[in-house]
Amino acid sequence: MKQFTQFESRDLGQELIDLGLEYKFNPRLDIQKGQGKRIGCIFLNPSLRTRVSTQIAAQNLGMEAIVLNMDKEGWALEMQDGAIMNKGTVEHIKDAAGVLGSFFDVLAVRAFPTLTQKQEDLSDFVINQFIKYAGIPVVSLESAIRHPLQSLADMITMQEYQVENRRPKVVLTWAPHIKAIPHAVANSFAEWSLGMGYDLTITHPEGYELDESFTKGATLEYDQSKALEDADFVYVKNWSSFQDYGKIHSTDPSWMLTQKHLESAPNAKVMHCLPVRRNLELSDEILDSDRSLVQVQAKNRIFAAQAVLSKIIE
Amino acid sequence: MKQFTQFESRDLGQELIDLGLEYKFNPRLDIQKGQGKRIGCIFLNPSLRTRVSTQIAAQNLGMEAIVLNMDKEGWALEMQDGAIMNKGTVEHIKDAAGVLGSFFDVLAVRAFPTLTQKQEDLSDFVINQFIKYAGIPVVSLESAIRHPLQSLADMITMQEYQVENRRPKVVLTWAPHIKAIPHAVANSFAEWSLGMGYDLTITHPEGYELDESFTKGATLEYDQSKALEDADFVYVKNWSSFQDYGKIHSTDPSWMLTQKHLESAPNAKVMHCLPVRRNLELSDEILDSDRSLVQVQAKNRIFAAQAVLSKIIE
Amino acid sequence: MKQFTQFESRDLGQELIDLGLEYKFNPRLDIQKGQGKRIGCIFLNPSLRTRVSTQIAAQNLGMEAIVLNMDKEGWALEMQDGAIMNKGTVEHIKDAAGVLGSFFDVLAVRAFPTLTQKQEDLSDFVINQFIKYAGIPVVSLESAIRHPLQSLADMITMQEYQVENRRPKVVLTWAPHIKAIPHAVANSFAEWSLGMGYDLTITHPEGYELDESFTKGATLEYDQSKALEDADFVYVKNWSSFQDYGKIHSTDPSWMLTQKHLESAPNAKVMHCLPVRRNLELSDEILDSDRSLVQVQAKNRIFAAQAVLSKIIE
């Protein structure tokens, strides 16, 4: 495996899920595997779970991890090829990624979208510039349009909580938020759920349609209550408009998931990638109930990252 | 030991002091003890000594330490249960502490007081929310009202420099400052000194009385020169008003400790937790003299933390 | 070796270059040498290469490295002896350096100049205060007037790419920039090049003369095209005026090095310490060509630091 930035195939997905679960039960199984290998974790944006789980995953493999908050401890990177750098950017991605590529064995990068430059975001410009110039394997810690380590952790979680003897119904439901939120988690969750063969329904207010390249094969249902019927897994997530790029069209509080919404889905487990805005996206009553898998998902971030790093360094 | 957030008993205090001194003379004595254990150090506020000494203490025990500057590398945490999170806070302490608790074996947390919400501060709200939701041992790296690792380092220092054949006189003297400073260090020093059986006198201008729940058993003396007579250890510290909560009533420069103040205490050693504002809280002549124990205290921060972590992981 | 802050002698320089090259071919040659040793890396300013390469160098020697962004994770340090600290500074360098000196075996410090207080900068005030009060070996990660680890990496690079059978001609050429840039890299490059016996020519617009104490022995040539003739190594760097301290006199774009400038130096290799402002200091065509050694220099930062740390801890 050279990069880990998106869903590749059901076979590879299953292999990573199984390896992640193996590590969950024996975190230091491969403590010798990464000896002498070094990962650089480059953050252009804030992080809690991703930052810590990636470091722990590396430590569990015996790797040395170095974290660089490029936005705070470094400086602004120029991303445009051919730019005349007489403004605010201090170093070109070409040079910075080249150097980091020569310092490390693996580079892990977090680079959020602008939510204003749609074409640039859609090309996953920043992480692809890192890949282009680093010359070593790159792991996405969430890019402009995907968050594959989150989705792998989500797939591990759904396998752990799978229902017996039938194909589970998975629902991705939009939730209200006060800020314009990227599409990465929703995109990746759709990409991985569909890729792994789940029956996926997506529900949201009109105008919040996701990029079809991620959702092809899913059922779109604007009626949230209908979408939630008999759901096994309900993934709650806000995202801003994709068509009217980066804009907030609705904050309709009736879309916030509560126990009442789940009356027609008595067995539904509820998922969220965290951080979650309580009582805005999701009610306390759900998050604090047995339905909630959010802490399981978070814990599985370690083993998702560990499975990916393990494959990359072998 | 499940938590380390305050003074518990003279027996435990003595055990920690003795263990700290053992580590001082042989820092890597228990280098195997923490193998495979992991501590998360969560800072909601700046730190130098605490940050570095805790990492070193962990390393000396063979533990893996990961530092997270939650305020800078992460985001604002919501602390209020039941909050509707439609404002500035991004993640609820319930969720963040739960995740961190599932990632680490021990959590160490720094959370300063607001100095505006007295009841909230007095309940030591933030660190108690971490304890409530993390589900693993929590070590205070200074909370709203206590700084127990500092006090343990101070007790180690006083034992190292103890006077022979009599109970030493300990004086906690208020010092001027230009900013509103928390009560944590003063509270904890009183709590630990009294708990460990020292003869403690507290002196400060009227209006600077500390919370009595920490100072019961101490002698209060408003006349600084009288308080300092025959002192063996003089602990210098500023704090803001407790009654008129978080306010500055006096910056009277005559309260700044100088050699002249110690004429009636010829053997007095002078202590301060650092950082110290020179020539505002304490004069250069004292800090640069043999009287000063401030560097010894700082060095002992490593061994205080090491003793505490050692007890917690056993 | 007690400190590493400047060029000391040709013998020591050669020893460090040779050791650096040895580590380049076998990075973990001395992985046992630093076991149980601890380095504190104190940043008062941003950093990418220096930050990461120093940590890697320490890891390659088996040392434990702790990074402290004093400017962001800590607080403002008072540098003036005898100051009455009733303003913005929170801790005196005396106390902070003393504590750090008691926590670590080696201290590495980055402290940029003010570019406004010329005499203070020229005395290399901040790093010398660290040296004065830390009481342990101090390694400069770039001070007000020198960047010796960069220069050592540059010397390693020039030895790797040395021309056969003759003394190479080295040219340090000023480049345009939009910000006032310190003299440290230029000073150190001159100091080390001359100290290691290279034939050095310095070229820049009038008014950009460097401090003569670093450039004595070099040829000064205001005509850039004449200076570049038959150059073997061209080191490109901006600096602000030294005489009219910290000011920008020229941003003349004709000084930006392009392939055209090198027509009379067909074999010239081009160097820069990075970060480089592309198409302002140096053209893309050069940076992306075989002439460029900037990535080699950056990689060699690891081995320069490793050689220095190796000498310091022995």
pLDDT (0 to 100) of residue A255: 98
Cα angle at B19 between B18 and B23, to 5 degrees? 120
Instruction: Answer whether residue A211 shows pLDDT above 90.
Output: yes
- Nearest CA to C231 out of C262, C191, C271 is that of C262
Q: Residues in chain B whose beta carbon is closer than 8 A to a beta carbon of chain C? A: 28, 43, 46-49, 51-53, 55-56, 59, 69, 72, 178, 274-280, 284, 287-288, 294-295, 298-299, 302
Q: Which two tokens stand for residue C45?
A: 């300013």
pLDDT (0 to 100) of residue C72: 84
pLDDT (0 to 100) of residue B105: 98
Whole-angstrom Cα distance, residue C238 to residue C177? Answer: 6
As beta bridge partners, residue A203 has: A173
Half-sphere exposure of C45 (CA within 13 A, CB side): 16
Query: Which amino acid makes up residue A155?
Result: M
Nearest to C275 among A68, A84, A91 (CB): A91
Whole-angstrom Cα distance, residue C149 to residue C156? Answer: 11
CA of residue B148 relative to chain centroid, distance: 5
A290 contacts A296 by C-beta, under 8 angstroms: no
Whole-angstrom Cα distance, residue A106 to residue A161? Answer: 32
Rg, Å, chain A Cα set: 19
Instruction: Answer whether residue C97 shows pLDDT above 90.
Output: yes
C257 contacts C283 by C-beta, under 8 angstroms: yes
Q: Residues in chain A whose beta carbon is closer than 8 A to a beta carbon of chain B? A: 28, 43, 46-49, 51-53, 55-56, 59, 69, 72, 178, 274-280, 284, 287-288, 294-295, 298-299, 302
pLDDT (0 to 100) of residue B71: 80
Q: Which two tokens stand for residue B296?
A: 């010894």
Those residues whose C-beta lies under 8 Å from the C-beta of residue A271, and which sit 6 or more positions away, are A154, A157, A233, A234, A235, A236, A293, A294, A297
* % chain C with pLDDT above 90: 96
Long-range CB pairs of C210-216, under 8 A, 24+ apart, other chains included: C210/C183, C210/C186, C210/C239, C210/C242, C211/C122, C211/C145, C211/C183, C211/C187, C211/C242, C214/C186, C214/C187, C214/C188, C214/C190, C215/C190
Nearest to C274 among A64, A86, A91 (CB): A91
Query: In terms of C-beta density within 10 A (0-12 exposed, 13-18 middle, 19 or more buried), how is residue B161 classed?
Result: middle
Q: Is the dihedral of CA B282, B286, B291, B297 positive or negative?
A: positive
For residue C119, what is the DSSP state?
H
pLDDT (0 to 100) of residue A73: 87
**For C207-229, what is the mean pLDDT?**
98
B302: helix, strand or coil: helix
* DSSP, residue by residue, A61-129: TT-EEEEEEHHHHS-PEE-STT----SS--EEHHHHHHHHHHH-SEEEEE----SS-HHHHHTTHHHHH
Instruction: Answer whether residue A214 shows pLDDT above 90.
Output: yes
Nearest to A83 among C59, C278, C287 (CB): C278
**For C155-163, what is the mean pLDDT?**
96
The CB density around residue C284, as the number of other CB atoms within 10 Å, is 16
Whole-angstrom Cα distance, residue A188 to residue A151? Answer: 6
CA of residue A208 relative to chain centroid, distance: 19
State the ipTM, two decimals: 0.96
B146 contacts B5 by C-beta, under 8 angstroms: yes
> Scanning every residue of chain C, which has its alpha carbon at the shortest distance from the alpha carbon of B64?
C64
Whole-angstrom Cα distance, residue A304 to residue A67? Answer: 19
> Scanning every residue of chain C, which has its alpha carbon at the shortest distance from the alpha carbon of B292?
C95
B172: helix, strand or coil: strand
pLDDT (0 to 100) of residue C52: 97
The CB density around residue A76, as the number of other CB atoms within 10 Å, is 13
**For C61-67, what is the mean pLDDT?**
97
B308 contacts B1 by C-beta, under 8 angstroms: yes
pLDDT (0 to 100) of residue B165: 87
**For C52-64, what is the mean pLDDT?**
98
Whole-angstrom Cα distance, residue B308 to residue B15? Answer: 10
CB contact under 8 A, B92 and A278: yes
The 10s digit of each residue's pLDDT in A218-229 is: 999 999 999 999
Q: Which two tokens stand for residue B240?
A: 């803001």
| Chain position carrying tokens 């897994």 | A233
C256 contacts A84 by C-beta, under 8 angstroms: no
Nearest to A178 among B86, B91, B94 (CB): B86
Whole-angstrom Cα distance, residue A223 to residue A221? Answer: 5
Q: What confidence tier does A71 reach under pLDDT thresholds 50, 70, 90?
A: confident
* DSSP, residue by residue, B246-296: T------GGGSB-TGGGTT-TT-EEE--S---BTTTB-HHHHTSTTB-HHH
C233–chain A nearest CA distance, Å: 20
Instruction: Answer whether residue A243 shows pLDDT above 90.
Output: yes
Q: Residues in chain B whose beta carbon is closer than 8 A to a beta carbon of chain A? A: 36, 38, 40, 64, 66, 68, 70, 72-75, 78, 82-87, 90-92, 94-96, 98-100, 102-103
CB contact under 8 A, A66 and C55: yes
Those residues whose C-beta lies under 8 Å from the C-beta of residue B284, and which sit 6 or more positions away, are B278, C82
pLDDT (0 to 100) of residue C15: 98
Those residues whose C-beta lies under 8 Å from the C-beta of residue C290, and which sit 6 or more positions away, are none
As beta bridge partners, residue C278 has: C282
Q: What confidence tier does A126 reach under pLDDT thresholds 50, 70, 90?
A: very high
**For A180-194, what is the mean pLDDT?**
98
Those residues whose C-beta lies under 8 Å from the C-beta of residue B217, and which sit 6 or more positions away, are B194, B200
Whole-angstrom Cα distance, residue B43 to residue B110? Answer: 5
Whole-angstrom Cα distance, residue B222 to residue B248? Answer: 17
Q: Which two tokens stand for residue A251?
A: 């904050």
| Chain position carrying tokens 């410009």 | A125
The 10s digit of each residue's pLDDT in C133-145 is: 999 999 999 999 9
Whole-angstrom Cα distance, residue C51 to residue C141? Answer: 8
Mean pLDDT of chain A: 97
pLDDT (0 to 100) of residue B167: 93
pLDDT (0 to 100) of residue A163: 85
Whole-angstrom Cα distance, residue A110 to residue A73? Answer: 15
As a dihedral over the C-alpha atoms of residue C11, residue C15, residue C17, residue C21, rounded to 10 degrees, the angle is 160
Cα–Cα distances (Å) from C91 to A265, B60, B125, B132, B151, in that order, read 59, 27, 28, 34, 20
| Residue that wins the pLDDT comparison between B134 and C251 | B134
Instruction: Answer whether residue A72 shows pLDDT above 90.
Output: no
Distance linking the first and last C-alpha atoms of chain C: 8
The CB density around residue C312, as the number of other CB atoms within 10 Å, is 21
Q: What stretches in chain B show pLDDT beneath 50? A: none
* % chain A with pLDDT above 90: 96
Give the pairing of strands C233-237 and C169-174: parallel
Those residues whose C-beta lies under 8 Å from the C-beta of residue A192, and which sit 6 or more positions away, are A7, A13, A148, A151, A152, A154, A155
The dihedrals phi and psi of C75, each to the nearest 5 degrees, come to -155, 175
B56: helix, strand or coil: helix
Instruction: Answer whether residue A201 shows pLDDT above 90.
Output: yes
Distance linking the first and last C-alpha atoms of chain B: 8
Cα–Cα distances (Å) from A105 to A37, A38, A129, A312, B180, in that order, read 6, 5, 17, 10, 48
- Give me the domains of chain A, ranges plus CATH numbers: 3-147+300-313 (3.40.50.1370), 162-292 (3.40.50.1370)
Whole-angstrom Cα distance, residue B33 to residue A221? Answer: 56
- Nearest CA to C7 out of C308, C221, C227 is that of C308
Neighbours of chain B (3+ CB pairs under 8 A): A, C
- Nearest CA to A232 out of A147, A164, A152 is that of A164
Q: Which two tokens stand for residue C3?
A: 């400190």
Q: What confidence tier does C281 reach under pLDDT thresholds 50, 70, 90?
A: very high
Half-sphere exposure of C132 (CA within 13 A, CB side): 13
